[in-house]
Amino acid sequence: QRRAPSAAAPSRSGNSAGKLALTMEGGGFKSLTAFAGLTAGLLLSVEYPKSASLTELFKGVDMISSNSGGTWFAASLAYSEKFETVILNMTKNINESANILYDQILKPFIGNLSEPSNATPAANNGTNGTNG
């Protein structure tokens, strides 16, 4: 059943009271990769690189709310030039976008997690924190 638009619905046509929020749900790696693919696809749909950029794509967004993997994506996009470059490269090579994201972002991250550390905490020296 279709509903009539609410009279309280915000309007983007000159009404400063109406704010546009972008929300990104959690889900760890799945969320990060989904939002990366979605963003690359949206840029492609507005004919990047001819007329669109990430700034242009998100220019009407007034606030962002995110959780878990959505926050990972939002923070990476906001604060990492490398991540922005990866998203733009995904757009330029959409058929290879999954490989680009994996090779340049996910694989190095996973590799850093799986490498053993040479540092051993003092409390974990085989004595269970005791002196004997």
Where is average pLDDT lowest: 3-7, 18-22, 26-30, 33-37? 3-7
For residue 87, the surrounding DSSP H or E stretch is helix 81-92
Burial of 36 (0-12, 13-18, 19+ CB in 10 A): buried
Under the banding of pLDDT at 50, 70 and 90, the label for residue 48 is low
Under the banding of pLDDT at 50, 70 and 90, the label for residue 9 is very low
* Average confidence score pLDDT of the chain: 80
Q: Is the confidence at residue 112, as pLDDT, over 70? A: yes
Q: Is the confidence at residue 32, as pLDDT, over 90? A: yes
Q: Which residue from 75, 82, 74, 70 is spatially nearest to 29, judged by alpha carbons?
A: 70
Predicted model pTM: 0.69
